[in-house]
């Protein structure tokens, strides 16, 4: 799963969107079902000489790895033009392939075009009957299709998200001396009842804060592993809300504990406004996530507590 301007994508989602775009764009577009075998193309446009092949990386790869995987994918599928030539010719009929389009959300190195030119020469040298004399291998990224994809999303009733901010992973908790001191110092301010400091309350608050900080992270790990798209939605809500925390703290006029309650209720409310989140996660888990984040903000200092 990767994050893009149109939302999280995996191979199936990306191919489905591109298939929809081509079906809307060309009345003679024909999808190639990968059964009983993959012939190296996802579909073709009769009479226009266009064939497409989709690729979406399964993870957020570094530049080098993404380039290597895309080069390998192009090489593998271009080789299938000659490997499955008789069957492809039957599907294409009188159509000759002019443009073989590699459709991928993003590419990382311009050298991919050099590889495309090399493969063009290789295909042309084989003298295949269904290859046009001006055969070209093109690389299309998300920018070629974003407008059409947005239209499809709106027709399907999806809420559009135009935020350029993509959620990063929530870091694994670490109780170092600084974080431990932050927790203790802030909870000490919370431990006054009617101007009287209560050591027992201070110790209990420290214990609960550390437990929520350390234990709550397990939910994020499970979310990331089991549903990357849901993880992305939850973390984006958290990241956007976190930007407001410091202002709320600096302008707060109530007690420290009232501030904690206010932030807790506000974050829960943000989650509840996203039906995808509330339909996918039981409410108790949202409470645990909220407790973890409040403890994290106390430890890491976005949340300022003053007497």
Using one digit for the tens of pLDDT, what is the confidence trace for 187-227? Answer: 999 999 988 999 999 999 999 999 999 988 888 888 887 77
Q: Are residues 53 and 131 in the same domain?
A: yes
State yes or no: pLDDT of 160 exceeds 70: no
Q: Are residues 134 and 188 in the same domain?
A: no
Q: Are residues 145 and 184 in the same domain?
A: no
In this structure, what CATH number is given to the domain that contains residue 109?
Answer: 3.40.1350
Instruction: Report the C-alpha gap between 260 and 294 in whole angstroms.
Output: 8
**DSSP H helices in 199-282:** 199-215, 217-226, 228-250, 256-272, 275-280
Whether 164 is covered by a domain: the verdict is: no
* Number of folded domains that form the chain: 2
Domain boundary among the residues 100, 124, 155 is at 155
Q: Are residues 130 and 240 in the same domain?
A: no
Mean pLDDT of the 233-242 span: 87
The first and second tokens of residue 66, run together, are: 């993404």
Whether 151 is covered by a domain: the verdict is: yes
Q: Which domain holds residue 275?
A: 177-300
Whether 217 is covered by a domain: the verdict is: yes
Q: Are residues 35 and 111 in the same domain?
A: yes
Q: Are residues 141 and 186 in the same domain?
A: no
Contact 84, 130 (CB under 8 A): no
Using one digit for the tens of pLDDT, what is the confidence trace for 120-137? Answer: 999 999 999 999 999 999
């Amino acid at each position: 799963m990767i994050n893009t301007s149109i939302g999280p994508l995996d191979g199936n989602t990306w191919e489905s969107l591109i298939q929809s775009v081509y079906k809307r764009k060309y009345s003679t577009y024909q999808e190639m079902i990968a059964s009983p075998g993959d012939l190296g193309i996802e579909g073709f446009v009769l009479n226009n000489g266009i064939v497409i092949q989709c690729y979406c990386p399964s993870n957020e790869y570094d530049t080098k790895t993404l380039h290597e995987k895309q080069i390998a994918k192009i090489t593998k599928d271009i080789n299938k033009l000659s490997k499955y030539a008789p069957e492809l010719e039957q599907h294409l009929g009188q159509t000759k392939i002019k443009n073989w389009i590699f459709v991928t959300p993003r590419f990382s190195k311009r050298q991919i075009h050099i590889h495309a030119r090399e493969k063009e020469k290789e295909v042309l040298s084989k003298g295949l009957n269904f290859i046009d004399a001006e055969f070209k291998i093109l690389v299309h990224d998300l920018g070629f299709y974003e407008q059409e994809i947005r239209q499809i999303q709106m027709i399907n009733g999806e809420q559009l998200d135009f935020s350029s901010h993509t959620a990063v992973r929530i870091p694994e908790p670490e109780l170092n001396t600084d974080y431990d001191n932050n927790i203790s110092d802030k909870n000490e301010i919370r431990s006054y009842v009617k101007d009287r400091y209560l050591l027992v309350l201070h110790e209990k608050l420290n214990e609960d804060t550390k437990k929520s900080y350390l234990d709550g992270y397990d939910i994020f790990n499970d979310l990331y592993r089991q549903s990357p798209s849901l993880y992305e939605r939850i973390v984006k809500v958290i990241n956007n809300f976190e930007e407001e925390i410091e202002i709320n703290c600096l302008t707060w006029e109530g007690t420290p504990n009232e501030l904690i309650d206010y932030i807790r209720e506000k974050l829960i409310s943000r989650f509840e406004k996203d039906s995808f989140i509330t339909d996918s996660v039981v409410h108790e888990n949202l409470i645990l996530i909220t407790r973890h984040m409040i403890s994290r903000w106390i430890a890491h200092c976005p949340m300022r507590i003053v007497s």
